[in-house]
Chain A
Amino acid sequence: MRVEPACAGPVVQNAAHAPTVLALHGVTVSLGPAAQVEALRSITLALHAGERVALVGPNGCGKSTLLRTLHGLLPIAAGKRTVPQASRIAMLFQRPHMLRMSVRRNLQLGLWLSGVPWGQTRERARQALDRVDLMHLGDRNGRALSGGQQQRVALARAWALRPDVWLLDEPTASLDPHAKRDVEALIADFGDEAPAPGRLPPTLVFASHNLGQVKRLASRVIYLEQGRLLADLPVNAFFNHTFLEAHCPQAHLFVKGETT
């Protein structure tokens, strides 16, 4: 019988000095009809302003659950979630969700739901569409757009909220290579955006199966397996095979493509 190597404990290297924008302290999340499945187990992590954090791990490891928990969409069974800076959080899903109305109305509705008075939503929606270069699609039905266009509209809807924290659940997974490149470039662009006066630099947290994308976008990588955080490392350390093999063999196997 083959014995899988295992990390002795979570390997964490985190020297960030920027302010914390979102943190989880020993968070456990249970899912299922009788909350019988522990999707996340005792997760502790802090996100700092300006970081670009990639969540990686095999299918079902808890990446999406972690993103939803960070947003506050899922109830926490144990532990605590804190948002010290009163950060504004936006979330993007793998499949963009557009309501059966014009692209502009979709953006206006998103802003209104987030607390922006309806009278101000039209101008902000226009700015957001302009930002993603989709002004010409403003009157089109959101549902009638291609996957790539819908994801760009979803990015515009998130950008319109001026979020401090972006939570992105495999935002390019369902797109063709061309759209993937466009959306990835936009995400990188949003991450580099100068913060508004009095705000912190934007923090990106994204789940991805694409390790190339992780290398291109992330400054920090969190590796999850079966709901546990096994590694939380700067991107260089995570892709340093010798280091990773020595400190977290499971993550090393994943990177080598042996556990997927």
Chain B
Amino acid sequence: MNSFSDSVTTALGLVVSGDPALWAIVSRSLAVSATACALACAMGLLLGAWLAVARFPGRSAVLTLLNTFLAIPSVVVGLVIYLLLSRSGPLGFLGWLFSFQAMVLAQAILVLPLVTALTRQVVEDSDRDHGEQLSSLGAGRGLRSLLVAWDERYALLTVLITAFGRAVSEVGAVMIVGGNIDGFTRVMTTAIALETSKGDLPLALGLGLVLLGVVLLLNSVVALLRRWRERLDGGDLRMATA
């Protein structure tokens, strides 16, 4: 019990004192996940908005597949990306294995189905309400989906934050394709796993506290966004933006 409380105290000290090793890992972790989310959102938002209004043979099969990918384990994504990026793999020529780029690619692929599926759901629900009106005014299918997506921008920001939360807290994919190399590809989750196995509990706990803080911050932002959106829907635009 004493060792646990000692570890927590030391961990808090590391966080508060701005330990360079700890904050290097934290900043790398945030950079990997932010880049991955930016890439996944750029693709996923467009793909999801298009899927929401597109009607084509096999659409329901595509949606089933997409929903299946929502539950894909991160280690499986890591394994597939590892095989693709390994020397003998089709993307081996990139030389990305055990690099920042490999971790970004793995996390982007991990959260892409999440962003696409949630965007599709949000836009399709809203399109059911507004799509016909927009069509009657002359909007084509593509423009209609973009307008509806813009109209649901606050809900889609929530999707983006959820995706970031999923990316920053996963461990399997970055461990496999990043290799957990100290000072190079070590991120919060892989460092926690390693330091725990080594018995360096203060650093692991410190990182855990930061990770928890990040997730808490993300959830608070989501809650604030929701409240802001409700205020916008119930009041004056000038007041809300003032």
- Which residues of A come within 8 Å of B, CB atoms? 68, 71, 73, 90-91, 93, 95, 97, 99-102, 109-110, 113-115, 139-141, 143-144, 157, 161
Contact = CB atoms under 8 A, between A and B. Distances in A.
Nearest to B238: A139
Contact of B137 (A101, A114, A139): A114
Contacts of B233: 100, 141, 143-144
Contacts of A90: 136
A139 B134 contact: no
Nearest to B143: A113
The contact size tier of chain B is 20 to 34
Contacts of A71: 136
A170 B238 CA distance: 33
B200 interface: no
B57 interface: no
Q: Which 3 A-B pairs have the closest CB atoms?
A: A97-B133, A91-B136, A113-B137
A117 B68 CA distance: 45
B123 to A, nearest CB: 13
Given A99-B130, A99-B147, A99-B151, A139 B138 contact: no
Interface in B177-224: none
Contacts of B139: 113
Secondary structure dominating the interface of B: helix
Contacts of A115: 138
Nearest to B234: A144
A113 B138 contact: yes
Contacts of A144: 232-236
Given A113-B139, A114-B138, A93 B235 contact: no
A100 B132 contact: no
Contacts of B130: 97, 99
A144 B240 CA distance: 12
